[in-house]
Amino acid sequence: MKIQKTDWGYIEWIQRSENQPSMNIGKVVCYPGKQMYPHIHYEEQFIYVLEGCGTGWANGTLQKIEPGAMYFMECGCEHSMKNEGDGPIIHLLVSNPVQVEMDSFIDKEETYKELSSEELIVAIEAVRGQFLDNLHSAYVIFTESGNLLYQGSYFPTYCRRTCSPQEHPGECRCMKNWIHFLETTEQTIECPYGLLVYRIPIFFNKRVVGYILGGYIRISSEEEAPIEGVYDTPESTAEGLKSLLRKASRAIRTFCEFNQFKNALFEKEALLEDSKNSREALLHNLKMAENTVTDLKINHHFLFNTLNQMASLALEGGGVPLYESIIHLARMFHYSSQTQGSLVSLRNELKYVDAYLQLQKFRYKDSLDFRYDIDDEAQDTIVPFNFLQPLVENAFVHGCDEEESKYLEIEIKARKEYVDIWVKNRGKCLTSQDCYRINVGMRGNTAHGLGMIYHKLGSIYKGGFTMKIGTRENSTVLYVRLPK
Q: Which residues pair with 27 in a beta bridge?
A: 12, 92
Q: How many CA atoms lie within 13 A of 156 on its CB side?
A: 22
CA atoms of 386 and 301, how far apart (whole Å) = 13
* pLDDT of 469 above 80: yes
pTM of the model: 0.55
CATH number of 2-96: 2.60.120.10
CATH number of 117-271: 3.30.450
Is 275-483 in CATH node 2.40.30.170? no
In the structure, what pLDDT confidence band is assigned to residue 54 with cuts at 50, 70 and 90? Answer: very high
* pLDDT of 23 above 90: no
CA atoms of 344 and 248, how far apart (whole Å) = 42
CA atoms of 31 and 83, how far apart (whole Å) = 7
**Percent above pLDDT 90 for the chain:** 20
Instruction: Pick the more confident residue, 101 or 23.
Output: 23
Helices within 93-234 (DSSP H only): 117-130, 157-162, 173-176
- Under 8 Å between Cβ of 61 and 74: no
CA atoms of 479 and 484, how far apart (whole Å) = 16
Per-residue CA distances from 372 to 375, 389, 409, 414, 421 (Å): 10, 14, 6, 14, 11
**CA-CA-CA-CA torsion sign (446, 447, 450, 452):** positive
- C-alpha angle with apex 215: 158 to 237, nearest 5 degrees? 105
Among 56-60, 163-167, 203-207, 279-283, which is the least confidently predicted range?
279-283
Span 174-180, mean pLDDT?
Answer: 66
Q: How many helices (DSSP H) and strands (DSSP E) are in the chain?
A: 10, 22
The domain spans of the chain are: 2-96, 117-271, 275-483
Helices within 59-212 (DSSP H only): 117-130, 157-162, 173-176
Residue 297: what pLDDT? 42
- Under 8 Å between Cβ of 131 and 248: yes
**Percent above pLDDT 70 for the chain:** 74
Span 94-118, mean pLDDT?
Answer: 63
Residue 20: what pLDDT? 60
In the structure, what pLDDT confidence band is assigned to residue 335 with cuts at 50, 70 and 90? Answer: low
Helix, strand, coil percentages (3-state) for the chain, rounded to 5, are 40, 30, 30
